[in-house]
Amino acid sequence: MRTAIVERKTRETDITVSLDLDGSGEGDIETGIGFLDHMLDSFARHSMIDLKVRAEGDLHVDYHHTTEDTGIVIGQAVKKALGDFAGITRFGAATIPMDETLTRVAIDVSNRPYLIWKVNIPKPKLGEMDTELFKEWFQAFAQNAGICLHVENLYGENSHHIVETCFKGLARALRQAVAPDERLEGGVASTKGSLSEKA
Q: Rounded to an integer, what distance in angstroms lies between the CA atom of residue 177 and that of residue 70?
A: 21
Q: In this structure, which CATH number among 3.40.50.1470, 3.90.420.10, 3.30.230.40, 3.40.50.1100 belongs to the domain 3-184?
A: 3.30.230.40
pTM assigned to the model: 0.93
pLDDT digits (tens, 9 = 90+) for 138-154: 999 999 999 999 999 99
Mean pLDDT of the chain: 94
The residues, any chain, with a CB within 8 Å of residue 104's CB and separated by 6 or more, are 93, 94, 95, 96, 150, 151, 152, 154, 169
pLDDT digits (tens, 9 = 90+) for 34-76: 999 999 999 999 999 999 999 999 999 999 999 999 999 999 9
pLDDT digits (tens, 9 = 90+) for 156-178: 999 999 999 999 999 999 999 99
The residues, any chain, with a CB within 8 Å of residue 46's CB and separated by 6 or more, are 25, 167, 168, 171, 172, 175
